[in-house]
């Protein structure tokens, strides 16, 4: 097996190869560190590479593997590499939040989700690029090189988990941690041809820092296969003492759901979303292609036109407040975030926006309740060029963003689970896909359906041109 093939093995397969002693953790980490050294300068997907600590842990794990007598004692992802988005703290490592003001901000603790990842045996390769304070759907923060899409370097991998998606798509990490406050996992998955899961609100803990965006954001996985994404969701899910809201653990696991084809599901599809209108022909076709497969699988389909008009104003106000809550002086922010900072709102206006958002969320859940799953475009058109919005005013940029990401924020507002899956490519060779949205706390249903689609239209074998450079 050559190093490229090894880099593109699923995380679950890598874990199996290590447990059966066909592969050592040190060999595997070296494959990824070599690829990062060669390809990251072109891709800009890692802000920080933790080569020294990754190698040290890999050596320790390799020595441990040689001595262990009962392989069942090893954690599930023993020796498998992973990346962490640079909005989450990893002790002893810079946590920049995509801001040039924080390049020397060394975290003193691990976020709860990072602790769970370590406990599962993963070896952290580094911190992946994010848009500034995670606020934008493209990853071009001031003071950092832009993250680029491995399928075409002229295009963005999306944001704010753009670095995470680019790393997985290019074989610079087998799986990645991301977060989604308005499509920030699903969008990069769509742009890069990956699987990305936004869990139900309360599925993944925000410990120890808490949630300062009124429940719209959550951590989640990015992967090349549904099974890898499900297995990583198993790892990061669960209550941590003191969480203000939580869900019970799944029974059985999310990974097990990939082996259990769902019963016939009542599925709604949408290619037009109010108030923004119809998806681009490429994105509309992606939904229609998914419909053909779903019908083959015996799922009844109904067409709907969801109306997300009521979320735009309150969601935008809460989103703007998130930029202000980051506490970074305006002079260190990019032009869009500076403008967002200038439109700060009062505490009373913020609470009114949260109330409106919660009311709108209830209405969304109620309106979609007749259906088991809703299939929509992930974004309204394919990925944009790097720097495409750079010459626009902040007001124009905001309108472009609202039009592009329109199918995503509604489910951050409602707290429903969603999974973005790839379905193919545009005529220009850029990835395209759809998102599946479920009732609250039904990740297992979405994962089972996504695995069913993956089985009849596999996509893991696709690799971007840059991987062999």
| Cα separation, 63 vs 332, whole angstroms | 45
Integer Cα distance of 254 and 91 in angstroms: 28
- How many residues are given for the chain? 469
Kindly state the helix (H) or strand (E) to which residue 82 belongs, with its residue range: strand 81-85
Which element (helix H / strand E) includes 425?
strand 418-425
Handedness of CA 172, 174, 180, 183 (dihedral sign): positive
Q: Which of 184, 205, 214, 310 is an active site residue?
A: 184
**Token duo for residue 73:** 């004692």
Closest CA to 253 of 222, 232, 283: 232
Beta pairing, strands 373-377 & 267-269: parallel
For every residue of 150-207, DSSP letters joined together read TTBTTB---SSSHHHHHHHHTTS-SEEEEEESSSTTHHHHHHHT-EEEEPPTTSB--T
- Tokens 């998806």 belong to which residue? 279
- How many Å apart are CA 309 and CA 442, to the nearest integer? 25
| Nearest-angstrom CA–CA distance, 326 and 350 | 15
Q: Which of 354, 121, 114 is nearest to 215 (CA)?
A: 354
Measured distance CA(71)–CA(18) in Å, rounded: 10
CB neighbours (10 Å) of residue 447?
30
Active-site choice (160, 179, 217, 237): 160
Among all chains, which residue has been given the structure tokens 């592009």?
404
- Return the number of other C-beta atoms located less than 10 Å from residue 23's C-beta: 22
Catalytic residue status for 135 = no
- Examine the residue annotation and report whether 310 is marked as an active-site residue of this protein: no
Verify whether residue 335 is a known catalytic residue.
no
Paired with 469 in beta bridges are none
Q: Which residue is catalytic, options 9, 10, 83, 85?
A: 85
Rounded Cα distance, 257 and 252, in Å: 7
Q: What angle do CA 84, 42, 154 make, to 5 degrees?
A: 105
Task: Tell me which residues are annotated as active site.
Answer: 85, 160, 184
């Amino acid at each position: 097996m050559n190093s490229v093939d090894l880099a593109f093995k699923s995380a679950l397969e890598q874990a199996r190869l290590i447990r059966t002693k066909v592969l050592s953790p040190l060999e595997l980490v070296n494959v990824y560190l070599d690829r990062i050294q060669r390809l990251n300068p072109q891709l800009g997907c890692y802000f920080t590479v933790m080569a020294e600590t990754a190698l040290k842990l890999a050596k320790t794990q390799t020595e441990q593997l040689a001595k262990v007598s009962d392989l069942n004692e090893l954690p599930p992802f023993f020796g498998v590499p992973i990346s962490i988005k640079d909005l989450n703290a990893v002790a002893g490592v810079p946590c920049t939040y995509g801001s040039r003001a924080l390049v020397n901000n060394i975290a003193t603790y691990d976020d709860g989700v990072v602790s769970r990842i370590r406990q599962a045996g993963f070896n952290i390769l580094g911190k992946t690029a994010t848009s500034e304070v995670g606020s934008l759907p493209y990853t071009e923060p001031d003071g950092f090189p832009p993250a680029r899409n491995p399928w075409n370097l002229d295009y963005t991998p999306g944001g704010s988990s753009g670095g995470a998606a680019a790393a997985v798509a290019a074989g610079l990490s087998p799986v990645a941690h991301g977060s989604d406050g308005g499509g920030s996992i699903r969008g990069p998955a769509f742009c890069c041809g990956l699987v990305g899961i936004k869990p139900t609100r309360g599925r993944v803990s925000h410990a120890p820092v808490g949630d300062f965006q009124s429940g719209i954001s959550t951590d989640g996985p990015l992967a090349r296969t549904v099974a890898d994404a499900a297995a990583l969701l198993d790892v990061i899910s669960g209550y941590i003492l003191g969480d203000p809201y939580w869900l019970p653990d799944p029974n059985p696991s999310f990974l097990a759901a990939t082996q259990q084809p769902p019963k016939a599901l009542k599925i709604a599809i949408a290619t037009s979303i109010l108030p923004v209108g119809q998806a681009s022909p490429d994105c509309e076709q992606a939904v229609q292609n998914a419909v053909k497969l779903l019908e083959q699988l015996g799922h009844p389909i109904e067409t709907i036109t969801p109306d997300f008009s009521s979320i735009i104003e309150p969601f935008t106000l809460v989103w703007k407040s998130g930029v202000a809550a980051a506490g970074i002086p305006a002079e260190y922010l990019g032009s869009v975030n500076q403008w967002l900072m200038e439109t700060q709102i009062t505490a009373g206006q913020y609470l009114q926006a949260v109330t409106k958002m919660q009311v709108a969320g209830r209405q969304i859940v109620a309106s979609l309740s007749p259906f088991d799953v809703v299939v929509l475009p992930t974004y309204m058109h394919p990925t944009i060029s790097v720097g495409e919005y750079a010459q626009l005013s902040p007001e124009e940029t905001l309108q472009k963003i609202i039009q592009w990401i329109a199918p995503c924020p509604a489910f951050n507002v409602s707290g429903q689970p969603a999974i973005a899956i790839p379905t193919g490519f545009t005529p220009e060779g850029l990835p395209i896909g759809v998102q599946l949205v479920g009732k609250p706390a039904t990740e297992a249903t979405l994962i089972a359906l996504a695995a069913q689609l993956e089985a009849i239209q596999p996509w893991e074998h696709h690799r971007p041109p840059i991987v062999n450079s």
